[in-house]
Chain A
Amino acid sequence: MLNFFLLILIYTCIYAFMSLGQNLITGYTGMLSLCAAGFFAIGSYTTAILMTKFAWSWWSTVPVAILLSALLGVLIGLPTLRLKGDYLAIATLGFAEIVRNVINNWDALTNGPMGIQRIPMISFFGLKVSPYSKYGFLLLEVVLLAICWFLLERLVKSRMGRALEAIREDEIAAASVGVNVTKYKVVSFAIGAGVSGIAGCLQAGFVLSVSPGSYVFMVSIMVLCTVVLGGMGNFLAVMLGAFIIQFISYLPQLIGLSSVIPAQAKQIIFGLILVIMMIYRPQGILGRKKRDNSRAQAFYDQANGDTRNAGRKDIGLEESGAKCEEEGRV
């Protein structure tokens, strides 16, 4: 039972990476993409191939997997990101299927439908992170996830994040204030793809084998579900969503009813969740995270509170900027 719960947590973390990526793409930038499975596959196979054929360490395959996923994100992004809404969804879905088909048929590199087995375990300074001792693996995942989450929060807090949200709200208005919409969309897509790719590395390191059957369309749907369920535009929420979705998919096994409840029931449940959420709580469980300007606001009020009393409002930009920096370093 405990073991099973740990398994759910491990898969939650794997999906959480894809949810973070999907959230940047869909929650922040407003692009409806359906190719999480494609990036997941690229991450997995990059790790699997480099570790088995070229004896790389797991750690060195991760940056390569991120770059390859991001690169493919750019390749698909450049021609398709001009498309809107459902057209984009269909184009990206097609891309994920192309990836799976290539993997399925490129026998020399991917071993086709047989997949790649006997991937070495992840080792950390000689210490093997064995999938059988689940705590170690979970710890590794949580640390990587935390780093990733932190960096993404920094990214969306910056002016780039504001630009992505502006694009989501109104592309034409964003362009009218000087934002290069296509460029930001492509970069957002690439970063989201790269983050999703990490999920693939972890999957390969946990299961120790990869095969095309794990990267089906259903994966992309589940990832989209985690984002809608948790809350678009809220990284914490989508990770919560990932947990709930994993919990539901393993519930039959967890309560020992897997023989009674067929595996397909899970798809019906996901469908139901999406419909119910759309009707009763379209913003998701936690809802969108509001942009936080409280620090800038506090600095501004402080700077101007003083001067307003002195009857002077025209405080210079440099002055408050410098002040801001000063305080920041304390």
Chain B
Amino acid sequence: MSMLETKALTREFGGIIAVNRVDFNVERNMITGLIGPNGAGKTTLFNNITGLDVPSSGKVFFEGRDITGLPSNKVCRLGIARTFQNIRLFKDLSVIDNVMMGRHFHTGSLRNRTLQAVLSYFQVEKEECEEYEAAMKWLEFFGLENLRNDSAGSLPYGYQRELEIARALATEPKLLFLDEPAAGMNPQETDSLMETIRRIRDLGVTVVLIEHDMKLVMSICDNITVLNYGQKIAQGTPSVIQSDPAVIEAYLGTDDDEEDF
């Protein structure tokens, strides 16, 4: 059984069918690519899986459990983390605080901790130390530990993308969705990102990524799904996808996409 499955997932916005009866499968411990021309519905599919948006029809199953329409904070707690196409960091908070937010739900709930926070000095200090340490582990994973006290919004673009991934990983997900992680990165940064994604996979985290950089997608993905106009037009290994006539047609048929195979 796949780790994550969507069944005929559909999302309409007024007249536009952004995602049209898509069956999308993610296999455990693999890197899955989701590609397609601009406006194909990739981000919308992510949003409908991660609870940011509610599907018009269809179902989402995670580890056999129906999670359709679950709000995003609950989806996260089940072990699905994500990043955003237009980076969403807590800009005024420090780098370490951003990652510590990823630890948030691992340290108890509002109900049992609010009173403690006010009354028990030691409890809070201890908890903060633990969260800090766990967060530093992720900053070191990305080599961002020296920037820990900078405010997140002041980092260069490439670092912001990495920090967003670090925050997502701090939630200890089983499944990680990355929406265009290489966007705005230079070639060296993209290469190091590729290496990072492999390292994340090696930690036992299943990765799904949307990406326009074909070199990156073709070299690190085990499995690729292609969307066009909201519909799934192909699925398979990179070599199968590269020679699929429908995919070539979709990419050559759009004039705003300069990527070539």
Contacts and interface: CB of A to CB of B under 8 A. Distances in A.
Interface of A: 151, 154-155, 157-163, 165-166, 169-170, 172-181, 183-184, 187, 288, 290-291, 293, 295-297, 299-300, 303-304, 313, 315, 317, 320-321, 323-325, 328-329
Nearest to A233: B92
A123 B107 CA distance: 43
Contacts of A183: 110
Interface residues of B, number: 55
B81 A329 contact: no
Contact of A158 (B89, B91, B117, B132): B117
B100 interface: yes
Contacts of B114: 155, 158, 160, 187
Contact of B90 (A157, A160, A165, A324): A165
A328 B101 contact: no
Given A176-B82, A291-B93, A321-B130, 8 more contacts: A158-B117, A159-B131, A160-B110, A179-B101, A184-B110, A300-B129, A320-B129, A320-B133
24 contacts: A158-B113, A158-B127, A159-B131, A160-B113, A162-B97, A169-B89, A169-B90, A170-B90, A172-B84, A175-B76, A176-B76, A176-B88, A177-B76, A177-B81, A177-B101, A177-B168, A178-B77, A187-B110, A293-B94, A296-B125, A296-B133, A304-B136, A313-B140, A328-B125
Given A154-B124, A163-B101, A169 B72 contact: no
B231 interface: no
B189 interface: no
B124 A158 contact: yes
Given A325-B126, A329-B122, A178 B73 contact: yes
Q: Which 9 A-B residue pairings sit nearest by Cβ, starting from the closest? A: A158-B117, A324-B129, A296-B132, A178-B105, A169-B90, A173-B88, A178-B76, A321-B130, A175-B72
Contact of A173 (B89, B94, B128, B131): B89
B96 interface: yes
A160 B126 contact: no
Interface in B150-184: 167-168, 170-171
Contacts of A288: 92
Contacts of B126: 321, 324-325, 328
Contacts of B94: 290-291, 293
Contacts of A165: 90, 92-93, 97
Contacts of A177: 76, 81, 101-102, 104-105, 167-168, 170-171
B105 A295 contact: no
B13 interface: no
Contacts of A313: 140
B194 interface: no
B205 to A, nearest CB: 15
Interface in B129-143: 129-134, 136, 140
B125 A178 contact: no
Given A175-B71, A321-B126, A324-B125, A159 B113 contact: yes
Contacts of A315: 133
